[in-house]
Chains A and B, each alone.
Chain A
Amino acid sequence: MIERSNVALTKADFASNQMVKWCPGCGDHAILAAVHNVFPKINYKKEDYCIVSGIGCSSRFPYYVNSYGFHGIHGRPAAIATGVKIANPKLSVWITTGDGDSTAIGGNHFMHLIRRNMDVNLIMFNNRIYGLTKGQYSPTTKQGQVTKTSPFGVIDYQLNPGELVLGVRGTFFARAIDSQSASLQTVCERMAAHDGCAVVEVLQNCMIFNNGTHADVTDKELREDRQLWVEHGKPMIFGKNRDKGLVMIGRSLKVVKIGEGITEKDILVHDETTEDTGIHHMLAQMRPPEYPMVFGVIRAVKKPTYNQMFQEQEEEQKLHGSVRNVDELLNSGETWEIK
């Protein structure tokens, strides 16, 4: 258990004295604001927060929060954070990372962090581009897009981080948008409350190198018809007039219109807690124009964390293990005396 603060904390307790060097208008500022709001709300002792990052714009994050912070190397924040959490399970460990950091160079660590259900929170800033190196395509860049390193269009198939999370049976996956701050903050609070590896993908806009990459779902005109915000136990309804919903036909999800012979009762109710990844996978995959894109907590499943199981083994061995100190270890097994 992480210690609670015995005084109420405020945003000011986490304000950094460093100049924030992201470009004006960058989506990263919104994520920073959300974290500044969420940390005092969770109200752990302020020294018990530890933010670990990799490389990229997202990874400058630790410098902008007054907490313990570790700015790592490219792709490795998941591995570094794993060591932090195993060494001290009483810390609230946060990873800030990007699409390049965690799905390209650090894909291996990202996958295994989630598979192990390491008890950490990971925010992936997905701007679908390498921003800090000035505009090369990443695994999440749309196919066909022209970037500095794809002058004739990207031929890589696009990676969807949520599918990767679900593919290794992650216990928590949510999606949010930088420009929609209230819901971003709610999602971050939910992630902090989750015991286990919590991943939030934030669709984040890079004004300079990939402006508008998420516009097909974030555009003010389109967004109500293209964003489906799911809530556990509630029917999955969306649209400007709240008249569209999801139903299961055969083995696929379909968008239907409420009214034309279909009532709210026919709409599929979201269950974030089901262990089966099937429907969560379908939800994570959906893309406009045929489907809305799904936001909010898609999956939140209770499972023992790596750290709980690790501690249980350690406690068991400390209680019942035969060797209690190094002297006993040295003298264990076959020994003999020379007189």
Chain B
Amino acid sequence: MTTKVVKKEDAVVRFAGDSGDGMQLSGTLFSDTSALDGNDIATFPDYPAEIRAPHNTIAGVSGFQVHIGKTIYSSGDKADVLVCMNPASLKSNLKWAIKGATIIVDADTFTEDAIKKAGYETNPLDSDEFLGYNIVKAPITTLTLEAVKDVFSDRKSAIRCRNMFALGMIFFIFGKQTTHADEYLQTKFKNKPEVIEANKKVIRAGYNYCENVDIQETPLQRLSVDTADMPKGKYRNITGNIATAWGLLAAAEKAHLNLFLGSYPITPATDIMVELAKRKSLGARVFQAEDEIAGICSAIGASFAGSLACTSTSGPGLSLKSEALGLAVMTELPLVVIDVQRGGPSTGMPTKTEQADLNQALFGRNGEAPCIIIAPSTSANCFYWAFEAAKLALETMTPVIFLSDAYLGNGSQLFRIPKMSDFPTIHPPFATPNDPEYQPYRRDPKTLVRQWAIPGMDGLRHRIGGLEKTDGKGEVSTDNLNHEKMVTYRKEKIDRLAERLPLQEVYGDEDSELLVIGWGGTHGALKTAVNELRQEGKKIAYTHFNYICPLPKNTGDILKKYKKIVVCELNMGQFVNYLRMNFQGTMFYQYNKVQGLPFEVSELKEEFNKLMNKGE
């Protein structure tokens, strides 16, 4: 009997299991294989804050979602294929599957105990709940043990290969080769030949099982997903956090400076520090500080001493850094502060995404203390925006806050590898040694940027610090008019930057009924939703902000062109209120979500349709 193959423009696969079941690895191997096969991809891991929560509980479920297809902007709403390695993962992930999804479960794990722990009364596989789904009850544990019985004598090692069985099944469904996974295993476990052998066998066992299921039971639906129509070039897969780290390294190279990162581990930003710690060969100097405050303060010291200085953190860490950030504003030193936002307030939801640190970034300091704020909008473009953040910090002598989030940071995407020769050189405003005219707060009359004189430079000894200083000379001053002047300079310096920034672009027609506004990490879902509505013939336009402070200078002009505007963000309305503050009189609708989850395309489309149909 021939297998039915359904063609699709895109498909979403979600791997779910106990943390420790290896779902992240299965997901990564599937997404990399798809990318190598020519699909566009985006991934998003959904994992708990606990490293190993109790076995078989909902708290311990770890997921990894992969979206593949022709043109992919986000990790997708709901899964076409869901893999559940135990009852708890089925219980917590069923809501992430489309109606009619193929659901692969490890039937061996549905023991009475595990079923109870997951919160089911009776075996859900026997219930009506799954009518309308294509449920595949595979004895994954048994077949995995069987497949490796010649390799491993102990059950524990054998059981660890279950994730590869699931991967083999997914390979079958999507018609993918096992070559990449095999190669990965060869490299990863090169000193453990038995692990390589066992895992390869299990992948094949999973693949073969599906072929046999086809013969024995209802045919398994196979999917053929369109390949991407990508521009020519060399590609790789990259997460937002790695892209951020590399963007900073790129900026350091283009500025001919050492990169300094002073940081303290915090979810979900830690991977940036982990990545940069490896890069001593590129002159990256990573200092793991004793706390968040020491992280930023060491970075300020390094900046004073002439490095491209950065600190990476998440929301609670940004709170701790507030006072020191004000010091960087006052001393007018370049500094990049990376905030990979997570659910707040307080410890909140460390592994979940949110965009609720915008107010903190805009206003969270004592005194008048403006910073430049930049927000990347895809995992891959974290590279470009981190480069831009560093460039602006260095060339404007101002701290820049980079608002990434857990979705971008942990998610991954295809990344077309750029060439460093295509990037501009960065020119920090260094002072000239022995310049008799040098003054710490002498400014470029046009940009209001002060010069950077670095300890060790001849003839430029000077003192700066947190106390207000006289204009020019930089001596301690409590003169009232001087203070007002300096406050104004620090603000003006950032306002005037807007003149030099690219204009904000709008996607879609000028006569659209609705303008959708987003910023930061929500780009994927917003772009997909707007695209789909436009394909359905709707008049809808979209603009996405990466420059948050200052705003592009044509922002006001754009807002004037549209009758209805909706601002969508993963918070209670922080960006929309910032726009209201800056563009009084403009009427904004807002669409907000604070569930620790990214937007879904379907909810956005529904909301936009509702707004477009709404009378004036």
List the interface of chain A (C-beta within 8 A of B).
18, 45-48, 50, 52-53, 55, 62-63, 66-73, 76, 78-88, 90-91, 108-109, 111-112, 310, 313-314, 316-318, 321-327, 329-331, 333-339
Residue among A53, A78, A88, A338 making CB contact with B305, cutoff 8 Å: A88
Stretch of B42-50, B88-96, B296-304 that contacts chain A: B296-304
List the interface of chain B (C-beta within 8 A of A).
32, 35-36, 38, 228, 230-237, 246, 249-250, 253, 258, 260, 262, 279-283, 285, 287, 289-291, 293-294, 297-307, 309, 323-324, 327, 331, 417-420, 454-467, 475-476
Contact A80:B280 (CB < 8 A) given known A63-B463, A108-B294, A338-B232:
no
Which residues of A are found within 8 Å of B234, using beta-carbon distances?
A: 331, 335-338
Which residues of A are found within 8 Å of B303, using beta-carbon distances?
A: 83, 87
CA distance A317 to B293 in the complex (A): 29
Query: Once the chains bind, are A317 and B280 in contact (CB under 8 Å)?
Result: yes
Query: Once the chains bind, are A73 and B323 in contact (CB under 8 Å)?
Result: yes
Which residues of B are found within 8 Å of A334, using beta-carbon distances?
A: 32, 236-237
Q: How far is the CB of A6 from chain B (nearest CB, A)?
A: 12
17 residue pairs of the A-B complex, CB under 8 angstroms, read: A45-B456, A80-B298, A82-B289, A82-B298, A83-B260, A83-B302, A83-B303, A83-B307, A84-B304, A86-B298, A87-B303, A88-B455, A112-B289, A326-B246, A326-B250, A338-B232, A339-B232
Query: Once the chains bind, are B294 and A335 in contact (CB under 8 Å)?
Result: no
CA distance A63 to B476 in the complex (A): 9
Query: Once the chains bind, are A86 and B297 in contact (CB under 8 Å)?
Result: no
Query: Once the chains bind, are A329 and B279 in contact (CB under 8 Å)?
Result: yes
Name the CB-closest residue of A to B309.
A83
Name the CB-closest residue of A to B228.
A338
Query: Once the chains bind, are B233 and A71 in contact (CB under 8 Å)?
Result: no
Q: How far is the CB of B180 from chain A (nearest CB, A)?
A: 8
Query: Once the chains bind, are A324 and B281 in contact (CB under 8 Å)?
Result: yes
Residue among A72, A108, A313, A338 making CB contact with B280, cutoff 8 Å: A313
Residue among A82, A88, A326 making CB contact with B249, cutoff 8 Å: A326
Contact A70:B464 (CB < 8 A) given known A83-B298, A86-B298, A327-B419:
yes
CA distance A317 to B461 in the complex (A): 33
CA distance A46 to B327 in the complex (A): 26
Identify the 4 closest CB pairs spanning chains A and B, nearest first.
A71-B465, A321-B281, A83-B301, A83-B298
Q: How far is the CB of A208 from chain B (nearest CB, A)?
A: 20
CA distance A7 to B111 in the complex (A): 84
Q: How far is the CB of B262 from chain A (nearest CB, A)?
A: 6
Query: Once the chains bind, are B417 and A70 in contact (CB under 8 Å)?
Result: no
Query: Once the chains bind, are B297 and A72 in contact (CB under 8 Å)?
Result: yes
Which residues of A are found within 8 Å of B36, using beta-carbon distances?
A: 336
Residue among B32, B230, B418, B467 making CB contact with A338, cutoff 8 Å: B230
Query: Once the chains bind, are A91 and B305 in contact (CB under 8 Å)?
Result: yes
CA distance A111 to B294 in the complex (A): 12
Which residues of A are found within 8 Å of B301, using beta-carbon distances?
A: 52, 70, 79-85, 87
Which residues of B are found within 8 Å of A331, using beta-carbon distances?
A: 234, 417
Which residues of A are found within 8 Å of B283, using beta-carbon distances?
A: 314, 318
Q: How far is the CB of A56 from chain B (nearest CB, A)?
A: 13
